[in-house]
Structure 1
Amino acid sequence: MPGDFNPKLRCAHAIDRDRFALVYGELEYDDTFSIMLFHDGAFETPWRRIDVAREINAVTSFGPAVAGARGEAYALLSNEGDVYFSDPGFPAEKIAGAGIQSPDASGRGALYALAAHGDTLFAAGTNGQVYRRGRDGVWIAWGDGQSGEEAIAQVALAAIQAFGPQVLMVVGGVLPEAQAYDVTEDPTFFDDMSIDDLAALFERQLALEASTLEASGKAFRMGDGGVLSLVPAPVPNLRALCVETADSIWIVGENGAILHGGLERPFEIVSSAADQQTLLSVTRFRGETIVASEDGLHRFDGHRLQPLQRRLGEVVDSGVPSPLKVQAVGDFLFYFDAKHGVRLWDGDSWEAVRVPPELLRREFRDPS
């Protein structure tokens, strides 16, 4: 029902202080709906909205090198491999073979990550799926056929970064078999299970998680030279990365894992075993490494995580924080919160970004 619509921030990306994209959605098995919002403070009416009946998992910006683009634009990726563009001159596209319920789905699963380099886009997801969009607008399965491709075949890719039209870095983890089945695909999955069946399934999942969690994280360089592993030591599942330079890249993940390395050199674990939070996002801000965990924001001092803001609940209006992403842009740090929206930090004070409430209603009516 429209009155029951309660969207949360699903993904976001900032270009600068006044230009950013936000994607809100409420995931329902039989009624998926996403609101894509684009903000540009240079205009008298800064907000623009596009709705799609899809689950949007990633958004990124790409530059005017894309043929026909007017300045910076955004690309957005759905779990089913649909690609949408903020520029109305670009029609929506479909990555053949991607997705779960799409008629052409190959069975390899959903897509979760998107990256751009100039006029080239990359998309990635479960079971080692990597796709590349060239200047001609055609998406191809890019990882297939590269030497070493078998190393990535079972990896659920969570984040990617392009270093050129033919060089990509990807991070993720190998999911336990029991987790690979998404019960939202079939809401009747548990209907005929007895208590004993459910208990046995639960025990199997716990065993699989215990056997894979500690050594399932993966990071690869793809492109010239094939698929090369960048993480020689066992690490937990990896969630996000931040690039300072090609020789200074930060990766974060589960069990408090923080890794540092480069595109041409192996990564090392630099975090403390005492930090066990699930780390969701990482960025570099004014010479410091800033990390978002499931319950707060942190500085990484080279050894341990320290609170960035001791009372983050006050930053989100005395609510319970639900961190999604941190991103440094120029002199500002964007903090994206799934439940509380967007905050900006200049190093001293916080500023809330107000999203007009009418923009978050399913039945949108422009007040103008």
Structure 2
Amino acid sequence: MRAMAYRGPYKVRVEDRDMPCIEHPNDAIVKVSLAAICGSDLHLYHGMMPDTRVGHTFGHEFVGSVHEVGPSVQNLKPGDRVMVPFNVYCGSCYFCARGLYSNCHNVNANATAVGGIYGYSHTCGGYDGGQGEYVRVPFADVGPALIPEWMHEEDAVLLTDAVATGYFGAQLADIAEGDTVVVFGAGPIGLFAAQSSWLMGAGRVIVVDHLEYRLEKARTLAHAEVYNFAEYDDIVVELKKATDYLGADVAIDAVGAEADGNLLQHVTSAKFKLQGGSPVALNWAIDAVRKGGTISIMGAYGPMFSAVKFGDALNKGLTLRMNQCPVKRQWPRLFEHVRNGYLTPREIVTHRVPLEHIAEGYHLFSSKLDGCIKTLVLPHAG
């Protein structure tokens, strides 16, 4: 088969690979029909995540059809169209039993916090991802779900991470009716967090970014007020002005660990213009919410030092809530929202590239070229 392979920072290519095989009786092999490049893939692409090994296949957002199943798989059969959450999880450990699928205790020997994630370095279990023609799916009776007949395939692939994570971010924010919500980051997850904030009862939604085309998407798709932080000396002061100098009730960090910036900024928290990466965005969130407010953290962070203002968060009495999204827990309600037309995830898709051109897809997305917001990958494109 053909699959994307990491060759070092800013270097990916497509290679011939052996087909994945059934390694455990509850495995399935899925023929990938559609995958996506996620903003958090850029942390890997830029070399910002530890233990990202040469040869690893990225991709934690994918859908496809079941090609083969192990002898103990009961819920799937060859030919079934499935959507696969980005979490690899067992479904039966202490944490899975409590719905914390992203913290599964049995799928990642390399970490004490996060469970398994497809295509996300060996700190997340070393599972190859879906940016290839086929992928092995462990615990096939637990994670994947059949794609409803009425659901568009491009909506389904976005529900495997971006939509679910944005929705989870708004959910964690514990939004009360009428609250003012500030979302940092107008990438796909930030856009879905902004949309979801309305569904949670927000009275006002503000999105902060520095790319005008993404802010325009926040205006039209999420009906949000927008601020380009590059246009202000201090974006926190502007947000305070816009909220009667009290601050927002809720802030959602949808930026994460330096998708745009560099190691110096990540370590020192220097506020470099045009680079809204963490921990800058998280510190802006801490400064921009009112006393007693809530911060929801959805951006991807690695185990690296960063100077976060925990003292200020303590003294302001803030509530910080965070986790990797337990995707399948969000699906029942999200399926309703998509079917009823409240959410149409595929509206954010701007680019579709064949697998053979995935290096160009990463370059477009990483460099924010051609108005790129979300790129889908077609492994079997003619």
TM-score, length-normalised on structure 1? 0.28
Greater share of strand: 1
TM-score, length-normalised on structure 2? 0.27
Q: Which has the higher contact order (CA 8 A, sep 6+)?
A: 2
